[in-house]
Amino acid sequence: MRMSQAVCSTVLAILAVAGVNAAEIDEDGGHLKIEDPARVGDPERVAIYQKMRDQMVGGYALSQYPAAKGYTKWRLYNSAPYLSATHGNRYVNNYANARAGDYGSLAAGARLPAGSVLAKDSFTITSEDKVFPGALFVMEKLADGASPDNADWRYVMIMPDGSLFGDSMGDGAEEMVFCHACHKVKANKDYLYFVPKKYRRE
């Protein structure tokens, strides 16, 4: 998928804040991602994440956004942090709250209820094996008709220092348009992609 220039600079800004050197970013074909994220194995990634998690949550929580404070108490749906090309080529984890209990088993055409929240935190491992917290990506299901352009999903992105990058229902809403533009592809699964097969936790 080709992203617009605005999206590219957005991603670049995110990576810069995350402490990633722009030299590691491949601008070819409109895609911006870290060229060669260190290829560390699943157990190492689990260990790195366990070490970093409190620090990450501490940063996100400064946003005062409710999900940012409590998401690590929710169910975790992936077995190890996995590389997400669509979220800046960072390692990510997927959590869902109790309302979103059907997240892992959603039938085609089914919808999660209002109040469902999905949170995806992220971190970067650079080619020099440095580790940095990344952004927190949140999707929150609103009441019917609350956000017709986004199929009643609210998209929020919080930076590692707790600052709000964008909220589709508030500040920086224009920066969040690209979220739904991509999630739209999954309209028959309530706009959700779910965890790649290899990383699904039983």
Binding segment toward ligand HEC, per CB under 6 A, in 24-32, 43-51, 56-64, 175-183 = 175-183
Does position 1 interact with ligand HEC (CB under 6 A)? The reply is: yes
Structure tokens at 40: 């560390």
Residues in the chain: 202
The first and second tokens of residue 152, run together, are 């009643």
In this chain, which of 92, 100, 112, 125 binds ligand HEC, going by CB under 6 A? 92
Q: How far apart are the first and last CA of the chain?
A: 31
In the list 86, 143, 170, 201, the residue contacting ligand HEC (rule: CB under 6 A) is 86
Cβ of residue 113: shortest distance to ligand HEC, in angstroms? Answer: 15
Residue with tokens 């911006």: 32
Stretch that binds ligand HEC, among 24-32, 36-44, 49-57, 178-186 (CB under 6 A): 178-186
Q: List all residues 6 or more positions away from 142 whose beta carbon is below 8 Å from its beta carbon.
A: 114, 152, 153, 154, 169
**Contact pick of 98, 193, 198, 200 for ligand HEC (by CB under 6 A):** 193
Contact between 147 and ligand HEC by CB under 6 A: the answer reads: no
Q: Which residues contact 53 (CB under 8 A, 6 or more apart)?
A: 72, 121
Query: Scanning the structure block, which residue is given the tokens 């617009």?
Result: 4
Q: Does the protein bind ligand HEC through residue 34 (CB under 6 A)?
A: no
Tell which positions 101-120 bind ligand HEC, by CB under 6 A: 118, 120
Residue 57 backbone zone (phi > 0: left; psi -120 to 50: alpha; other: beta):
alpha
Dig out the tokens for 158 from the structure.
């919080």
Q: Give the one residue of 79, 162, 172, 194 binding ligand HEC; rule: CB under 6 A.
A: 194
Using CB under 6 A, list all residues that contact ligand HEC: 1, 84, 86-87, 92, 94, 118, 120, 137-139, 155, 157, 176, 178-179, 182-183, 192-194, 196
